[in-house]
Chain A
Amino acid sequence: MSARLELRPYGDTGLLAGVLGDDYESRWRTTQALAVAVREARPSWLVDLVATYDHVFVTFDPGGSDHAGVQSWLEQVGESLDEAAAMPEARTFRVPVLFGGESGPDLDDVADELDLSADALVERLTAGPWRVRFVASPVGTPFTDRTDWDVSIPRMKEPRVAVPPGSIAVSGSQSIIYPVKSPGGWRLLGRTPLRLVDPVADEFVAYRAGDLLEYVPIDEDRFAELEQQGARLDAES
């Protein structure tokens, strides 16, 4: 099948490909399949690539190609895109989470805004897997959502200066986990004791676009135990 793309220069060394299509799910699928195809083809001028919900942003070396050349190359890749073959199989990651309290200071407020009790909110959050749509900044952050989670949670008015690593956060209808200590404006609901990134491992982060994250509630004792082990988040075996 072929992807319908809207291509435009984005800076003197960049090109932005918007993926057109009828629904969110198919646009995202095409976007990620296109990204996989470009990475595998590894053209010599490719500097970097960022694929999100419905855009692929490509940075290139102008010593190796130009906007017109990159554009027609991307169009060709798009025309012969085999989405099913391009997308790697989804894996499931179980993420132990201590909800509320100091680990999730915004849990009660967000529950109020959604007209839920804190317990009911946790139940909703853990009722099904969250799909990793893409991995982005800060360092290794999984951006996830869920088809049965259609809410609109506002961000903090003033972002926090330092969000602790492992924080599970929501905004709009998305959820992320902050892998490293960083500033952030998303609402914090809980925290996982597992490490998400490993700078010296072969894979910097274990998950990729398409994978599923399941939030599993744990108590403080289990949190302390896992934190002490220093384990890394890994796919279910």
Chain B
Amino acid sequence: MTAHHPGHEHEPPRITVESAGLAVVQDLGRPGHGEQGISINGASDRGSARLANALVGNDVGAPLLETAGSATTLRFDADTLVAITGASAQPTVAGRAVPTYDPFIVEAGATLELPTPERGWRTYLAVAGGLPGEPLLGSVAPDSMLEVGRRLSRGDQLELSSCVCGFRHPHFGQPLWRLGARRPSWPSTAVVDVTPGPELDEFDASALRGPWQVSPQSDQVGLRAEGPTPKRSAATEILSRGVPVGAVQVPPSGGLLVLLYGRLLTAGYPVPYVATTVSLDTLGQVRPGDELVLRVTDEPSAVKQLLGVRRELAEVAERARTALGASGLLS
């Protein structure tokens, strides 16, 4: 997106971080490097991340802000087109409520407050043109093993590639567009769809269903869920093998470990189930203490759901391009 650069200023438009919780510059990570043992990483709730980008006319994988379970405040020094998705919370600009799941413009000099979520855990803020970042293997996503990634702290400045300077409207901060994006809710009991894994036969399926309780020890690598340890009928050791994101592992220490996008590429624990790709987004929004219930589905149903979500995203992206284009905000 080009919009209009301010002709009279030499400095590029920027965002200044006034306060930051756990906030990082994020994208969709580094898929396709399994041969080198590099994990995918990237946004935990990819549906929300893609949607935020689509709503401002970006490529769905553009760098954006991801915050987790905390509040962040940002000051904008130029009129900027943004969209907020993810956790349920009411963001404000200069104390006034602003839309979520629809794009809006933050006025030059204004401060955007992303509050601690009421439900859900991660908030995504996309900025037209994307946030700056230094990609490694095509991605700016944090990776603790590669020691890359940018976590924001107070005083940081993010230079933007574009602003909407010159696009004046009396209702900045008000919903100018309604693009009909579906707004998920994040109940305190998360239902996670799973397909059968290689070791399902070695467990009593009813003992795996839950409810499980999300442990605060969860991270980007895996979500720990506490509950009674499911008994495994076989005692055979499993040689390390490739393991999918979403694998529901039963570690000897008890409970479940659901592998997330930062997962190591191989593992040797039994895997009775695998969370569906769409359910991984739900797992990106659960909070410590929330309940998880596993719901068994099959691969064809999961794929059908995934393709439906992709189609829906493509439709919103198209509506966003049309609406922003009609307002002169897209080249």
Give A residues with C-beta under 8 Å from B: 8-14, 16, 39, 47-57, 59, 62-63, 66-67, 134-141, 143, 180-182, 197, 199, 204-205, 208
Contacts and interface: CB of A to CB of B under 8 A. Distances in A.
A139 B38 contact: yes
Contacts, number: 131
Given A11-B276, A12-B274, A137-B266, 9 more contacts: A8-B198, A9-B196, A11-B197, A12-B302, A13-B303, A52-B241, A62-B303, A135-B37, A199-B146
B239 A57 contact: no
Contacts of A135: 35-37
Q: How large is the interface on B (under 10, 10 to 19, 20 to 34, 35 or more residues)?
A: 35 or more
Contacts of A53: 239-241
B299 A199 contact: no
A181 B147 CA distance: 9
B136 interface: yes
Given A62-B307, A180-B147, A205 B36 contact: yes
Contacts of B245: 11
B145 interface: yes
Contacts of A49: 34-35, 242
Cβ-closest 7 pairs across A and B: A57-B242, A50-B242, A137-B264, A12-B302, A11-B274, A55-B241, A11-B244
A47 B34 CA distance: 10
B145 A138 contact: yes
Most buried by B among A9, A16, A47: A9
Nearest to A49: B34
B266 to A, nearest CB: 5
Given A12-B306, A180-B147, A136 B240 contact: yes
A83 to B, nearest CB: 18
Interface of B: 31-39, 136-137, 144-148, 195-198, 239-247, 264-266, 274-277, 299-300, 302-303, 306-307, 310
Most buried by B among A13, A135, A143: A13
A54 B38 CA distance: 20
A139 B145 contact: yes
Contacts of B243: 50, 57
B241 A139 contact: no
Contacts of B39: 137
A199 B274 contact: no
A138 B274 contact: no
Given A47-B31, A50-B242, A137-B266, A13 B145 contact: no
A182 B247 contact: no
Given A136-B264, A136-B266, A204 B299 contact: no
